[in-house]
Amino acid sequence: MVRPKRSFAPLVAFLLLLAAGAWYVRWRTTRYDPLIDRVSREFQLDFWLVKSLIYEESWYDARARGEAGELGLMQVMPGVAQEFSQETGRGLSEEALLDPETNLRVGCWYLRQSLEKYKGYSDPLPYALARYNAGETRVKRWIEEARSGSPRPDGASFVNSINFPLTRKYITNILKRKPKTKKPKT
**What are the residue numbers of the active site?**
57
SS3 content of the chain, % helix, strand, coil (to 5): 65, 0, 35
Give the H or E element holding residue 43: none
**Is residue 103 a contact partner of residue 75, using CB atoms and an 8 Å limit?**
no
Neighbours of 76 (CB within 10 A): 27
Give the H or E element holding residue 42: helix 33-42
Neighbours of 106 (CB within 10 A): 26
